[in-house]
Amino acid sequence: MTKIPFLDGARGIAALLVLFSHIYLGLFNSYPILSATIIAAGHSGVELFFILSGFLIGGQFWKNIIEKRNFNFQNYFVRRALRVLPLFYISFAAFFIAYFFLNHREPNFSIVPFYLLQLHNFFSDVNIINPPTWTVAVEIHFYLFIALFFYVLRNKSVRVHLIGILLLFVFVTMYRYYAFEKVFNRGDYRNLVYANSFARMDHFFIGVLLAFLYYKADCIDSLKKWGGGILALLSFVLGIIIHSVLIYLEYSYRNIISIDSIYFSVNIVGPLTALAWSFIILAGILQFKPLTSVLSLRTLRYFGDISYSLYLLHLPLFSYLFKPLFVEFVSTNMFFCAICFIPIIIGISAISYNYIEKPFLMVKGKYI
């Protein structure tokens, strides 16, 4: 598929949001309003990753359906595997050794199958080597689920596909709220809902629906006829307003109101963040120039290129390498450490992208 420049930049933004969030919380986490902003940014980056993945994968299917071409499911699975799995397994092997070596413990090989089979997101006591990778498992489950969805409906009309996605979106959203209130006790909620792949699918479906708008030319033409410029501006402003509300909610949650943190994160922050990014991406689809120009900057697009390495490597390198080596220095010079560490992790991620990801991406390019 042809790359969409502003989405590459958005992916770079997502990676940087998660990076800054984890580094700040690992070093500071002492200023209420700033902490609320950083926490909201971290949540926001993860939700944006999900929506962008939904857009990317959904776009591949919509393009073929709209153009009435057969979709090569075998090549699809090979491409997804080559994109995600090599770096995941290589980094897992390295950090598995580092985790048990630095903690002076015997390696627990019983957790390895969960990572190999991408089931570690369901078990918080297993997902200890590199906690952010729960989202990788969720993404892989989405790849499988959405392929099954489009395969089952492969002979149906575009309208049937669209209705199906909308119904799934509603069903997953309702399931997540019901699960907390009626089904699972709060002690199990993180495993069964927070990092549960099915409970997170609605954010991917938002991306799939946005991809439909992008590839269905008459939809965009209709929106533009109704006032594309005004709609784009309004969409962008709404996205920014909702993000501002999220920062206030994070601050209120931490300092004013009492509410279960997992419930708050999944059922309040998650949906609002997804809604905010939906408006902002819609503004990009409608060619809101101030937005697309910034997101298409070469620097942001480069961060988009290395975003997977940046996401997978930043927290273990910080936890297993940087803090243990500079533990006393970190406690007294936290700001300086943050300034030093961020360029280092970006540099290591760039090396990882060029020497681990790229060779597999070249092979991936053969499976169109």
Per-residue model confidence as pLDDT tens digits over 101-117: 877 678 888 889 999 99
- For the ranges 253-262, 309-318, 324-333, which has the lowest average pLDDT? 253-262
Give the rounded percent of residues in the chain with a pLDDT score beyond 70.
Answer: 81
Helix pair 5-27, 307-316: axis angle to 10 deg:
10
Contacts of 27 (CB under 8 A, 6+ apart): 330, 334, 335, 337, 338
Q: How many CB atoms lie within 10 A of CB 180?
A: 21
CA gap 175, 118 in Å, rounded: 22
User: Is 192 a residue whose pLDDT tops 90?
Assistant: no
- pLDDT band for 66, please (50, 70, 90 cuts): confident
Q: Read off the pLDDT of each residue in 338-342 and give the average, rounded to a whole number.
A: 80
Query: How distant, in Å, are the alpha carbons of 38, 76, 87, 367 from that of 363?
Result: 38, 13, 14, 8
- For the ranges 88-92, 210-214, 322-326, 364-368, which has the lowest average pLDDT? 322-326
CA gap 333, 229 in Å, rounded: 48
Q: What is the pLDDT of residue 186?
A: 52
The overall pTM is greater than 0.85: yes
